[in-house]
A and B are shown apart, each in its own frame.
Chain A
């Protein structure tokens, strides 16, 4: 026992150090959100301070946080929903008919820097009068969600034995029915993973929303901008808003952690 004690201690010490490094910005954000502006910019940083909720009050009272929250939710939910609607059959077809070219093409869309789409989008959407519309935002966020759905689900479908749907087809089902009645009910874990991940990516997206939305459809990450003005940066407000934005994503991840980790490795190892 004694021999093992020291290496175990060292191991956890190392874990602690790494965790601190990784979590430091998060901790900084969290503590700053409870500090006054004076405390935030004071040097050396104050470890002990009198916590205040005024930053949160600003976020929820002075800003129309609820509206941004709803915007983010609507855009994320609809974009993910439509991505599932299009992506699930696509992923099934990629998995069963070995359409690797199509799969690579979809991945390519994901690998291209998002900003290269933005300029043409902006022109197209403004000509169609769709700037600051949900349609434009949802379509742009589908570029984020769809490849995630397709890649996670095509890998997932490949783990389901073909005989199941063949059996259903012999039993009297069309391929579409076999997909709906046999394959989809078995794909719960995969769908949860794809949904959670793509929703979080959509939730966190800044660039597309920044360019394509204005006051009406502004999403949460953009709302943080409201705390930056010409005269000063309201760090407390920024930090509190950031915490409020991250909370749903963190809660989602914690609930579906098991599936999300599995989904991430699935894409990585077998994709």
Chain B
């Protein structure tokens, strides 16, 4: 096992900068997830770690070794591809053993390791089959197995679950997490799916337009996004944003969105006061919106019209409109159903709200 360090790594394809000055350190035995929308450079970053893509400038270390000019085969890594990339002309056993065979492992060692990997993944019965005779989920397991048998320093996963159906994806998510604990391996996992990132990662690295936006524990990036992009990317449904003014009246700070006005909690005053009078973006997560309980004055009650109410069984997603703004609320199923077109009173949980500088997109609180 080993840590992986990227120092000021840049990748340019002609005029396009795919990865821009990326510096990250992935610890030994860590499950690191690189997440971002498509084209953000996360896959390119992974491919540079694998050695499948040359780096334009910067340094990549695996363990203590500088691997910039090292061929993929010498980096002691294993990679799982989105389309599995199983060798179609070999059966599962040969697919699993291929990497060991060309590294000149003994026949008995190969057999033992293939058997071990097959046991871990529950694919003993499939060893003699060709990839085309396997289902998507089985192929995924074989692809994982091919990485496991190698016992590499670092595992690289490039969107490995994207080609699976939703149900299988949830199951494999848990399985990969379990595998990580069992192997105690360093894993770098690339995905565009923030749910995968949140559920599996020890640490999340969020990328956008080739640059690293934020690094942190899943709960950190969820609770304290550093900018508008991260705030909008992490969380489902996405955070609600309102273009608003921050006004300072009689010693009290308000967010003035035109069609609504809410008072800011006193705790945030120190950070916010310098921005008074300026344009800001006000952000509230859907789960921080609740129906107003009569009698409780929280100073953040606003009226909104219900446009669509999606019933999920355990909870509802209420698509609301408030003046020119649209917002989504995620709440418990109310005792009294909300009718479409009905005007309701909602409260924002102001302790969890976010304010961003409109010009720089950076978080203020």
Contacts and interface: CB of A to CB of B under 8 A. Distances in A.
A170 B89 contact: no
**What's the interface size class on B, roughly?**
20 to 34
A169 B102 CA distance: 10
A167 B77 CA distance: 11
Interface stretch (B2-10, B23-31, B79-87, B319-327): B79-87
A171 B85 CA distance: 12
Nearest to B97: A171
A169 to B, nearest CB: 5
B50 interface: yes
A162 to B, nearest CB: 9
A167 B85 contact: yes
A193 to B, nearest CB: 18
B89 A163 contact: no
Interface stretch (A39-47, A56-64, A122-130, A179-187): A179-187
Contacts of B146: 167, 171
Given A171-B73, A172-B99, A185 B89 contact: yes
Contact of A186 (B78, B82, B85, B88): B88
Contacts of A186: 88-89
Given A186-B88, A186-B89, A170 B83 contact: no
Contact of A170 (B50, B82, B87): B50
Interface in B32-63: 50-52
A171 B88 CA distance: 16
**Residue in A166, A172, A174, A177 whose Cβ sees the most chain B Cβ within 10 Å:** A172
B71 A174 contact: yes
B72 interface: yes
A226 B190 CA distance: 71
B102 A177 contact: yes
A161 interface: yes
Contacts of A185: 89
Contacts of A169: 51-52, 71-73
Contacts of B102: 171-173, 177, 181
B285 interface: no
B222 interface: no
B291 to A, nearest CB: 50
A168 interface: yes
* Chain A interface mostly: helix
Contact of B72 (A161, A164, A170): A170
Q: What band does the interface of chain A fall in when counting residues whose beta carbon is under 8 Å from B?
A: 10 to 19
A173 B85 CA distance: 15
Contact of B87 (A168, A174, A177): A168
A168 B89 contact: no
A152 B77 CA distance: 35
B103 interface: yes
B73 A172 contact: yes
Contacts of A170: 50-52, 72-73, 77-79, 156
B98 interface: yes
Nearest to A182: B87
Nearest to B89: A185
Nearest to B53: A166
B150 interface: yes
Q: Which of A168, A171, A172, A185 has the most CB of B within 10 A?
A: A171
B356 to A, nearest CB: 39
B145 to A, nearest CB: 12
A175 to B, nearest CB: 9
A185 B146 CA distance: 20
Given A173-B73, A174-B71, A177-B102, A167 B79 contact: yes
A161 B85 contact: yes
A32 B155 CA distance: 72
A68 B156 CA distance: 59
Contacts of A181: 98, 102
Contacts of A168: 87, 98
A142 B52 CA distance: 35
Contacts of B72: 166, 169-170
Contacts of B99: 171-172
B89 A164 contact: no
A65 B51 CA distance: 58
Contacts of B83: 161, 163
Contact of A174 (B73, B77, B98, B103): B73
A173 B156 CA distance: 17
Contacts of A173: 73, 102
11 contacts: A163-B82, A166-B85, A167-B79, A169-B51, A170-B50, A170-B51, A170-B72, A170-B73, A171-B98, A171-B99, A186-B89
Given A168-B98, A170-B73, A171-B73, 8 more contacts: A163-B82, A164-B88, A167-B146, A169-B71, A169-B72, A170-B78, A172-B103, A182-B87
> Which 4 pairs between the two chains have the least Cβ-Cβ distance?
A171-B99, A163-B85, A167-B85, A172-B73
